[in-house]
Every structure is written in C-alpha cells, then in structure tokens.
Amino acid sequence: MNPFDDLSALVTAALGQLQAQGVLPEGQDLARVQVEPPRDAAHGDAATNAALILAKAAGAKPMDIAAALAVALEGAPEVDAAVAAAPGFVNLSMRRSFWLRRVPDILAAGALYGRSDQGGGQKVNVEFCSANPTGPLHVGHARGAVFGDALSSLLQHVGYEVTREYYINDGGAQIDTLARTIHHRYREALGMDVGPLPAGYYPLAELVPVAEAIARRDGDRWVMAPEEEWLEAFGQEAVQAMMRRIKGDLAALGIHHDVFSSERRLRSGGEVDAALARLDEQGLIYEGVLPAPKGKPIEDWEPTPQLLFRATAYGDDIDRPLKRSNGAWTYFAADLAYHFDKYERGFNAMIDVLGADHGGYVKRMQAGVRALSKEEARLDVMLCQLVKLMDGGQPLKMSKRAGRIVTLKDVVDEVGKDVFRFIMLTRKNDAALEFDLVKVKEQSKDNPVFYVQYAHARISSVFRNAAGEGIETGPPALMAADLDRLSDPLELALIRQAAGFPRIVTQAAEAREPHRIAFFLHELAGQFHALWTTGKERQELRFIVAEDAGLTAARLAMLAAVQTVLAAGLKLIGVEPVEEMH
C-alpha cells in the first residue's frame, strides 16, 4: 500500500545483488538505509542513502557503491532511471505506471487507506483530558483533548488496539469544597439568607440546579446536619453534574472516551494498598525525610518523616512522598494505583497526555510504572504546551475570580468543531500555541481547515457536474478507467502526493505527532487547487473533457482518489469533509 515500502524492497533487492556479486560484504546492517522522497523533486521520486551508510563497512568509496547500486536498480521493474549523485545518493525515477496504479489502490481502500498493522494489535491505553471535575472545560484542556483523540485515531489506523481513557480526579480535598459549595447553594435554595459565596468556593452555575434538586428531594434535613453526614454524598452529586457537563463539552468536539476511571473508587477500593504492596515487596518503599525543596522557600516547611517511594531507583531526581502528614494518600499514590490498574487490565503500553504544567510529574510516574510492572509496561507522556489565549492581539488572562473563563463550549459554539480541532493540530504538541479569539472568529475564512475542506468540496462539485452531463461516475466506471491517459506532470505530482499518505500516517503514528496529518492535508489540497486553476488557463487540463470520455474517466478516477485521501486524513483528525462550501 505504501509506495515507499515497494521502493525499499527494490533497494534491498538491489543491495542483495551487490552482495552476491561481491561488491558489498554479506551481513550488513541495513537498519539505517532509507528510501525517501527527495526534498527537491528534480532528484526524482525517491532517493536512498544506502551507499553512504554502507561505504565504511565495505571499505569502498560511497560514489563507487552508489554507481554500482544505480546499475543494479536500473534493471529493476518499473524503474525509469537510477543515477548516483554526490556524495553518494542514488536517485530513483519510476515509470508512470508505478504511480498510476496507486489510484485504484486508493479507491479500493477508501477510508481505510493508509491503514497498516505496524501496531500488531498491541493494546495501548491513551489517557487524555483528565480535567478536574470542578468546572467546565476551557480552551487549555481542549488542546490535550483534541491531541489525545487524534493520536488515538492515528494509532488505531496503524493497527493498535486503543482505549481512550479519562481519569476523574474525584478523590481530593477539592471535592470537599465542591460539596460545601453545594451545601451553601442548597441552603440558598431553601430561601435562607446565606450571604455571598465564601472565598474559595466554586461559583459554578451548574451547581445551583444540583442543590435545588436536593432541596426539593430532602427538604431541610441537611441544614443543621454535621458535615460528615452529607459531605461525601453532596460531593458525588456535584462530580456527576460536572462530568455530565464535561462529557457534553467533549461530545461537541466529537470526542468520546471508552473508559472513565474514578480516583475515589481506587482509593476506597483498596487498590492503593495493592499497588504499594507490590512496590514494598521490591523494597521500594521506606520511611524517610526529604531534603528541603530548593526553589521558593516554604514558610512552614519542617523536616518530617514520610512514607516514600524510591523513585530514584528508576531515574527520578528525588524519592516521592506517598502519604500526607494528615495520613491520607497523596495524589501520586492514587495515580500509582491507577497506572497499576491499567497494567493489570493488560496495557503494557500507556500514553498520558498532560499539560506542560505537569512536566515535573513525568519522571516519577514513569518510574512508578516501570517498578509496578517490573519493567514490562512502558509509560509515555506527551506534554501539550499551554494555550496562549489572545484577544485581538492582547494576551487574555483567565481568572476564575473575575469570571473571565473562556470555556471550550463558548469557543466551539462560535467557530465550530472543525475549525477548532484543526487549529489545535496546526502546532506541534510541545510548542506553545497562540489562540486568538478575535482572529479565529473574524478571519475564519483564512483558516487552513477551509482550504482543505474546499478542495474536498470542489471535487464533489466536479462529480456533480459530471453526473449532470450524463457521465458515469460510479466506482465501477472509475476503477475501469484507463489511467494511462494521465500524463501531465501536474497530474502525476498530485497522485504522488496522495499516494504519500500511508507513509505520513506511519511516521505520524511512530512520532506520535498527529499534526503531521493536518500539514499533509494542507499540502495535498494545495496541489489540487493549483491543478484546478491551471485548468482555467489551459483548457486541455480541465477535468471534464466533453469530447474525450476516456480522458475524463481517468481524471475523475484521479480526483476520486485525491478526495478519498482528503476524507481519510480529515477523519483521522476528526474533521468533517464537506460536499460544498456555503
């Protein structure tokens, strides 16, 4: 399916010939040999560095090997030309047929184009967007959400069995505050004069109906009741309400998690003890005193003995506390239990998508996973840099107190999920992303997502016109088209680009960089638009040629292939292809 796999096979075969001829020694390591598209199209369809890699071990000059390799490749099927180039590349040009037969490949594969089994069905757990249930999602959360979702799709496409997972942080002190906020609203709902919301409580509109419902259901029975009697129940009602909101926000982005795990259930279910026992048996837990932290001085710091995890045994900088001075497990202890739980559910590959402000957390968690799984499982952490929210070129500071929270829902309602998702993927995850509310709204026509969707829509338009002229446009007609009629360099370049999709998918998945899909689609759309406009200047390049049904069929097949790749790529990043713009 991937043309460059075919080309790699050609090069490997040619190298085998050279070995048989004694030009190259046997048993060379070919791992570093690459066959990739050259940056400069004038160098042909592909270039290999084989001669440069193998020269030293062979004790020969790179150019000599390259020359021999070029001769061997000249004899390979579908090779039009193979030439050695300084300092030792071999440039390959393929016959037209090599590229033309990608068109039926693409048409046959449809939305599955680019799929591979490189993952071998391995189970991967992708945890992303585990925002605290203490408020609606904001724009910063959404970056990790879009990234995690697109990465999951990408990994599925290359043959991993992916589980999208959300960790609900419903076990900490913040939930108690949430519960007290409910209690305050509850007394308010009963008509009591409760005064303004105390400092530190959550001024969330979502909590009011929750409190009102309790008031209707239970009357005043909790008003004077001691906190222990209602704290947990109120907290859980609040969490459920917030999670409904969060799930709704995510659904508006087209994101659906497979599994929601509760921190509270881990804590109460004895799983923390189980995980720590596992560490204890390896001698990785001890009672100790940590040195004073280096950074800002902490006023009430005093050296106290704590239960510690020996994270330094696995590369962390210091050992990490498991228990707080009040006796409760730390967040880290619960998270250890959570990741142990993932391991026990069969995940040896875990990916956590976190905000960059959690960067300091990575080493200890990776240490924990290695220890808990006894080196069987591996945790990768993808950090998403924070979103710099701008408002017409001015930085926008978000402040819960001032009520200036830009919620995800507000933005998505305004610009739509497709624009939002695409923008989130037009930056590498570890680079800061500038998100200007004004620009995104006002200049949405300049947004790259429209550029790509427009290409898709234009192709749909061609098919509508073709059908209107009575031209057969169904799959059988397209598959039967004589593609040899396609000969213009612009057409072949377009097919080459479309056929590059499987390679991009593979690389994006390996590098875990879904943004590469977005950039690829932009390029493909650009080549298509260029060809379209050329048809305005050169009549003979128009897609529908009234007097030549064979040529028209070939061009329609080509367009169908391009549209298929556009749709497949957009699907991977969760953006809708459209039939027409409006």
Closer to RNA by Cβ: residue 49 or 373: 49
- State the nearest-atom distance from the C-beta of 407 to RNA, in Å: 18
Rounded distance between C-alpha atoms, residue 455 and residue 469, angstroms: 21
3-state secondary structure of 399: strand
Rounded distance between C-alpha atoms, residue 27 and residue 306, angstroms: 56
- State the nearest-atom distance from the C-beta of 475 to RNA, in Å: 20
Tell me, what amino acid is at 218?
D
Closer to RNA by Cβ: residue 39 or 217: 39
- State the nearest-atom distance from the C-beta of 458 to RNA, in Å: 6
Closer to RNA by Cβ: residue 259 or 467: 467
3-state DSSP: the chain helix, strand, coil percent, rounded to 5? Answer: 55, 15, 35
Tell me, what amino acid is at 224?
M
- State the nearest-atom distance from the C-beta of 95 to RNA, in Å: 19
Closer to RNA by Cβ: residue 3 or 171: 171
- State the nearest-atom distance from the C-beta of 556 to RNA, in Å: 9
Closer to RNA by Cβ: residue 214 or 271: 271
Report whether 74 contacts 81 (CB < 8 A). yes
Closer to RNA by Cβ: residue 312 or 426: 426
Rounded distance between C-alpha atoms, residue 138 and residue 154, angstroms: 24
Q: For the chain, what's the residue count?
A: 582
DSSP state string for 482-497: -GGG---HHHHHHHHH
Strand partners, 448: none
- State the nearest-atom distance from the C-beta of 551 to RNA, in Å: 12
| Other CB atoms within 10 Å distance of the CB of residue 268 | 12
Rounded distance between C-alpha atoms, residue 201 and residue 219, angstroms: 23
DSSP state string for 263-281: HHHHHHTTHHHHHHHHHHT
- State the nearest-atom distance from the C-beta of 217 to RNA, in Å: 28
- State the nearest-atom distance from the C-beta of 223 to RNA, in Å: 28
Closer to RNA by Cβ: residue 215 or 365: 365
Report whether 423 contacts 435 (CB < 8 A). yes
Report whether 238 contacts 117 (CB < 8 A). no
Q: Which CA distances in Å does 95 have to 82, 99, 336?
A: 11, 8, 56
Closer to RNA by Cβ: residue 326 or 394: 326
Residue where the block lists tokens 């790699």: 8
